[in-house]
Amino acid sequence: MVSKKSSITLQKTLTTSFGCSTIALLDADTFIVGTINHQHPVRTVSVQGQEGDIRHKLLPDKKYRIYQSSCTYIPCTKTVVFSYRGQNTVYMCDLTSGEGRVIKTDKIRTPKSACAGPAGTVFVCSGDTQSIVQLSPQGDVLMTNNVGMMSPYAICLSRDDTRMAVSNSAGGQKMIKLFMVSS
């Protein structure tokens, strides 16, 4: 929790050769970054400023404009989750084994951001169905929950996996909803 006594201090500025749409920690010294208008949609950036590509057989080598795609990283399964709104597709790419899954289902329409859930699961914002979809580590749909807001856009889960926050991107209906998560 941030209090009045807390402060945020700039430690370093990293200049990148590409635009960044999303960012997640890979490890203590490296970020996984979703790119904008770069031939590789997912890259790494170290705290020393070194850039690298995440190459996976499922990830398309394609340039995405801003708001077309997003990515996150699931540390416990070493999986990059990449969503492409234009094809209603979520890619789950295991960086250790090289295996992966392409998820296309009517339950996920216009996928936006995603976040790590408990036990390697993934929560995905499904913009056009106004819901959050929980995927198993294998990419199976475990649960769909209507969140009662137009175009859910961003999602995060508390460290103890008991609370979820969801925000939206709908004009005129800007909000953040907080949910309790139970098993």
pLDDT digits (tens, 9 = 90+) for 160-171: 999 999 999 777
pLDDT at 1 over 70: no
The C-alpha atoms of residue 83 and residue 60 are separated, in whole angstroms, by 11
Mean pLDDT value across the chain: 91
Predicted local confidence at residue 3, as pLDDT: 65
Predicted local confidence at residue 136, as pLDDT: 96
Mean pLDDT of 120-144: 95
Predicted local confidence at residue 11, as pLDDT: 84
b/e sequence 103-130, b meaning 16+ C-beta within 10 Å: bebebbebbbbbbbbeebbbbbbbbebb
The letter for the amino acid at 153 is Y
The pLDDT tens digits of the residues spanning 41-95 come to 999 999 999 999 998 999 888 888 888 899 999 999 999 999 999 899 999 999 9
> Which helix or strand (DSSP H or E) is residue 47 part of?
none
What token pair was written down for 44? 């790494």
